[in-house]
Chains A and B, each alone.
Chain A
Amino acid sequence: GQNIDQPTEMTATEGAIVQINCTYQTSGFNGLFWYQQHAGEAPTFLSYNVLDGLEEKGRFSSFLSRSKGYSYLLLKELQMKDSASYLCAFQALDSNYQLIWGAGTKLIIKP
């Protein structure tokens, strides 16, 4: 079967670093996406990993280990505007390239 899991909620302090984990299971994997979603708004694309390793984009980095079915999103120098839900999703080859979505991790940033 296919499933994906991420923590429901996390809290961090402004200026700190936070890591949001995502684990998945699938028989046909074609990449993992991270999206940011502010309350009541559309998800916006953050990153895409298909090969093992770390992809860095400014304050945000995303890591993938295909053998472990594991990814994380690393946010550095946290700002209040980073308070949002972070959605991970993998693309499944055996589901016509559809994305299978996690429930999202709500990140709360405190001053």
Chain B
Amino acid sequence: DGGITQSPKYLFRKEGQNVTLSCEQNLNHDAMYWYRQDPGQGLRLIYYSQIVNDFQKGDIAEGYSVSREKKESFPLTVTSAQKNPTAFYLCASKEGARTNYGYTFGSGTRLTVV
């Protein structure tokens, strides 16, 4: 079955460390997105990519980095510059960026700073 796989489901990071969250999709979708979800807030866009080897900053890109070397993969690195990284991170994909289709989401990664 097609879908989006995020790993790991839970991740713990020490202060000052970089960590990378994995997102893989086999839906053949062109567009991929990273969102951050905090209690009491709507999903906030970190980065998105409409096509391989291209990506754009979202509303809260500071302290994060991404790459899109393959259509199937869109990893997110949370760097030490992100001062409040504890959150639930969701990866999503869509058939085309400029379409009316809904997003398909991965199951999420819960990142905790220890």
Contact = CB atoms under 8 A, between A and B. Distances in A.
Interface of A: 4, 8, 30-31, 33, 35, 40-45, 48, 50, 87, 89, 91, 96-104
Nearest to B96: A97
Nearest to B105: A42
B100 A30 contact: yes
- Chain B interface helix/strand/loop/mixed: loop
Interface of B: 40-45, 48, 56, 58, 88, 90, 97-100, 102-108, 110
A4 B98 CA distance: 21
Given A42-B90, A45-B102, A101 B43 contact: yes
A103 B40 contact: yes
Q: Which 5 A-B pairs have the closest CB atoms?
A: A101-B42, A42-B105, A101-B43, A45-B102, A103-B42
Contacts of A33: 102
A8 B39 CA distance: 11
B47 to A, nearest CB: 12
